[in-house]
Structure 1
Amino acid sequence: MADSLIKNKHLLWRAGFGIGINQIDSLKNKNSTMLIDELCKEDHFTEITYDTPDIDPAADYMSSTAPAEKKKQMQKINREQNNELNLHFLDKMANSKEQMREKMAFFWHGHFASRVVNPKFNRQLLNTIRKHALGNFKDLLFEVSKAPAMLSFLNNQQNKKDHPNENFAREVMELFTMGRGNYTEKDVREGARAFTGWGYDKEGNFKERKNFHDEEVKTFLGKTGNFNGDDALHMILEHKATSRFITTKIYKFFVNEKVDSDRIDKLSAGFYSSGYDIKKLMREIFSSSWFYDQSNIGNRIKSPIELMAGIMRLLPMHIQNPENLIVYQKLLGQMLLYPPNVAGWPNGKAWIDSSTLMLRLQVPQIWSGLRPLEYSPRQDDDIDMGMKSRETALNKSFKKPNITIDWERVEKIFAQKNCEDYLIQNAQSLDMNSVRNFSDKSIKMMVINLMSTPEYQLM
């Protein structure tokens, strides 16, 4: 297999969501610098939104049934709007030309993890993350820290002088910027005082509520002064620990779970001196010869979203019931806008257990209409998510997404090619004889069977 094909395939999976059907013909001969330029290109930014109308604020509260009914109606609308945001984000990952923007947004979506019911707040945070995904980490951090979704999720609305709430200050330092071991408990307490008064109104506008702000002198990260939240964030960014923490997390996600400290030293020093230029850091990673080392290729387990988006990119499909794709996200353990906790999703082997592996291997056949979805979620699964009983949850959810795939186009594109060269990252590790034995010699079955191998789970 041509060396450039191996490299470009690796790059497309790490800097985006895999090979798109329209990229297959040109992939062998494309120079990777050109490909990086294409991936980095940012067109006019468009926000992700939902079409479901917001609830009418003037609805009748007076009738005796209003409160319970009203609540139910609210929950239904919130769920519909959040589902739309989820599916529109997945659609961007699968279909946007701006692959690196959406891949970085996906990374930040797990890094700045928040889980709130309010779809308006979710939309705001999601678009902030997408807008700054390849921009400047400082801008991203400031905007995310002032987003109602985050302030609400981390209880800063309750952070007031005389009764400081430390949750927000702690998570900002521990998970979003510096990492454990680079600040003290006193820094958490003093940082919380700096963030007192940061909140939002019900329209979703950030508000600095002066009367709740602690105006006294604070000592934070070795400096003393009458600091506010902006000051605290500036001081966090001045710390080289922040650059190192973010660079390490990016390296683990985009390159290898096993960290090379010399590379991290060099990358994080560059990231710091660039003033936290995200695109510059990503270019440096993807342009480095070590990024294409054999040890970095095909060593990552695709997350459920990467797996789904990758299949959607390669197979030209029309999805009649896209809302059922949310069922697959739930069953595979990664639902957009719904991280398990403030630390986001775990990576690597955490994605695979006996039940998720079986379903992962069957998705290509189910989506191609070759087999039904026979599956019950794990006992500890949070499948109900506001639905009444387990039984109705399952009956309600398990419809097929009703996907029509343009197999003619797939056959035409792969006619003179080895499908495995394009579908599998380490094709030499695959026993092609056993794949062929399951196949009826058609390209359609070859593609489905390749996508149903354990090797396809790796990127």
Structure 2
Amino acid sequence: MSLTFMTVFHPKNKIPMAASSLLNNKHLLWRAGFGPAAGQYASLAGKDSKSLLAELFKHHDFNEIRYTTPDLPDTPANMMDSQSAAEKKKEMQKTYSKQNNELNLAFLDSMIHSEDQLREKMAFFWHGHFACRVNNPQYNQQLLNTIRKNALGSFRDLLFEVSQSPAMLNFLNNQQNKKDHPNENFAREVMELFTMGRGNYTEKDIREGARAFTGWSYDKEGNFQEKLKVHDEGVKTFLGKTGNFNGADVLNSILDRKATAHFITAKIYRFFVNENPDDNIIDDLSENFYDSGYDIKKLVKAIFSSSWFYNRRNIGNRIKSPIELMAGISRTLPMKIQNPENLIVYQKLLGQMLLYPPNVSGWPSGKSWIDSSTLMVRLQIPQIWSGLRPLEYTPRQDDDIDMGIKSRETALNKMFKNPNIVIDWPLVEQIFTDKNCEDYLIQNPTSLDMNTVKNFSDRSIKANIINLMSTPEYQLM
């Protein structure tokens, strides 16, 4: 079986072949969520795509994600000597790590089990867009829920709340942004990565924007506050306008620019549709996005309702990120995991650990997910989780996730526990009885050599599914 990732090429001057409802529905569930759940396979072939789309946009009550490990009690400074301070710091780091891991796994669990798939998929997108990495679990929890709450709401509200979150202000050093000594990091990333993109502002705009953001900070409880004593109240010129601007004025000026709507729309298109953008479609979508007042739900509904979204050239053309791969397998195969913390090891091995983006640009995409090490782990996950083989791994040498850990292999060995995953195979076999598994599990079954798959199978449904999920073709969505 070839290890080459295949995409379906369709010449632009030809009309794509009409896709079946099964193909359309698989495509929609993978792009607007994390793939079909076990209970959805029975109706997947016969369900009208419009009905499925309506289900995805159905309103669900919002539930916050929270860690449950208690915080450490405060110890008065006068009761701590140098040794106890060091011990307390070590204990605090251990507690922080446990709490952050809880948030990580709770977010992944929501992707797998939540009925509100579109919200979680959109939140996953924004989690990478507003990439942030801090050690404080309270700040991580607040930012994660801010993103999830606003995932399908107004981009204006989302931008303001993220920009005023203690996690982002801390990560981008705005605590150090004070009059007479401005720190440009926050202002630069807000414009370059979060809103307009390069080419739509100048270095002077960055300097003046940084002056406007002076004083944006937070208190000990993590509540946003504007420290007027360190705010630069001088006149500033930003994006061609002059005035005594503050941070809110800067964000509003950015949102007034159509370049912001275009930048966000293009990034959403590349994530949900195709990494090769269609400029005409993006222009139309971004114009409507701007006119709607940055209504995210309207934008993604326009995408998923369009005929071009279901063109063959847009199906099976994206390599699943590690999180999408893990969540998708877990949704198809009902399972109980005795040691869920084990899933964090897989995230580290595959290069995508929730809450720990490699840098402020977020995670890569496409072929960047694949190298000789990660590909083999990807192809072996179905067999490992089914108990057919042990996890054998070689850590990536250039991975930034470890944050200073001297020996990644040693650290992972300490963390790793046997998955102890129990898959409900009788239920899976019941679901896929009388079905061609490849039609349901592979986005483009015509690209798959089924003779090779069957040669490795004992012809049972279980073996067939494991082998299909172990193919390069399953890595595509």
**Over residues 406-450 of structure 1, what are the superposed CA-to-partner deviations in whole Å (9 max), with x where a residue is unaligned?**
000000110111111110000111011110110001100000000
After superposition, residues 169-184 of structure 1 pair within 5 angstroms as: 169-184=187-202
Which amino acid letter does the alignment assign opposite residue 462 of structure 2? K
Q: Does 1:155 align with 2:202?
A: no
What residue ranges of structure 1 are gaps of 5+ in the alignment? none
* Residue 283 of structure 1: aligned partner: 301
* Residue 26 of structure 2: aligned partner: 9
Quote the Cα distance in structure 1 between the aligned partners of 2:327 and 2:133.
Answer: 22
Asked whether the equivalents of residues 384 and 393 of structure 1 are also in contact (C-alpha less than 8 Å), the reply is: no
Which amino acid letter does the alignment assign opposite residue 205 of structure 1? N
* Residue 319 of structure 2: aligned partner: 301
Q: Does 1:51 align with 2:68?
A: yes
* Residue 352 of structure 1: aligned partner: 370
Q: Does 1:133 align with 2:151?
A: yes
Asked whether the equivalents of residues 34 and 117 of structure 2 are also in contact (C-alpha less than 8 Å), the reply is: yes
**Over residues 27-76 of structure 1, what are the superposed CA-to-partner deviations in whole Å (9 max), with x where a residue is unaligned?**
11211111111112231111000010011113784255211111110110
* Residue 369 of structure 1: aligned partner: 387
Quote the Cα distance in structure 2 between the aligned partners of 1:59 and 1:354.
Answer: 51
Q: Which runs of 4+ in 1 moved over 6 A?
A: none
Asked whether the equivalents of residues 358 and 400 of structure 2 are also in contact (C-alpha less than 8 Å), the reply is: no
**Over residues 4-25 of structure 1, what are the superposed CA-to-partner deviations in whole Å (9 max), with x where a residue is unaligned?**
0000000000000001001011
Closer, same or farther: CA 9–195 of 1 in aligned 2, 3 Å:
same
Q: Does 1:328 align with 2:346?
A: yes
After superposition, residues 203-242 of structure 1 pair within 5 angstroms as: 203-242=221-260
Asked whether the equivalents of residues 109 and 129 of structure 1 are also in contact (C-alpha less than 8 Å), the reply is: yes
* Residue 161 of structure 2: aligned partner: 143
| Superposed CA RMSD | 1.4
Q: Does 1:23 align with 2:26?
A: no
Q: Does 1:85 align with 2:103?
A: yes
What residue ranges of structure 2 are gaps of 5+ in the alignment? 1-17
Q: Which moved more, 1:373-382 or 1:188-197?
A: 373-382
Which amino acid letter does the alignment assign opposite residue 334 of structure 1? Q
User: How many angstroms does 1:382 deviate by?
Assistant: 4.3
Asked whether the equivalents of residues 327 and 398 of structure 1 are also in contact (C-alpha less than 8 Å), the reply is: yes
Normalising by structure 1, report the TM-score: 0.98
Q: Does 1:310 align with 2:332?
A: no
Q: Which moved more, 1:110-119 or 1:386-395?
A: 386-395
Quote the Cα distance in structure 1 between the aligned partners of 2:405 and 2:85.
Answer: 19
Closer, same or farther: CA 225–382 of 1 in aligned 2, 3 Å:
closer
Asked whether the equivalents of residues 2 and 28 of structure 1 are also in contact (C-alpha less than 8 Å), the reply is: no
Normalising by structure 2, report the TM-score: 0.94
Q: Does 1:71 align with 2:118?
A: no
**Over residues 318-344 of structure 1, what are the superposed CA-to-partner deviations in whole Å (9 max), with x where a residue is unaligned?**
000000100000000000000000000
Over the matched positions of the two proteins, sequence identity in percent amounts to 75
Asked whether the equivalents of residues 383 and 393 of structure 1 are also in contact (C-alpha less than 8 Å), the reply is: no
User: How many angstroms does 1:183 deviate by?
Assistant: 0.4
Quote the Cα distance in structure 2 between the aligned partners of 1:157 and 1:384.
Answer: 25
More RCO (CA 8 Å, sep 6+): 2
Closer, same or farther: CA 276–373 of 1 in aligned 2, 3 Å:
same
* Residue 412 of structure 2: aligned partner: 394
Quote the Cα distance in structure 2 between the aligned partners of 1:93 and 1:402.
Answer: 21
Which amino acid letter does the alignment assign opposite residue 327 of structure 2? A
User: How many angstroms does 1:239 deviate by?
Assistant: 0.1
Which amino acid letter does the alignment assign opposite residue 162 of structure 2? V
User: How many angstroms does 1:317 deviate by?
Assistant: 0.2
Quote the Cα distance in structure 2 between the aligned partners of 1:72 and 1:31.
Answer: 56
User: How many angstroms does 1:2 deviate by?
Assistant: 7.5
User: How many angstroms does 1:201 deviate by?
Assistant: 1.2
Q: Which moved more, 1:389-398 or 1:330-339?
A: 389-398
Aligned residues: 459
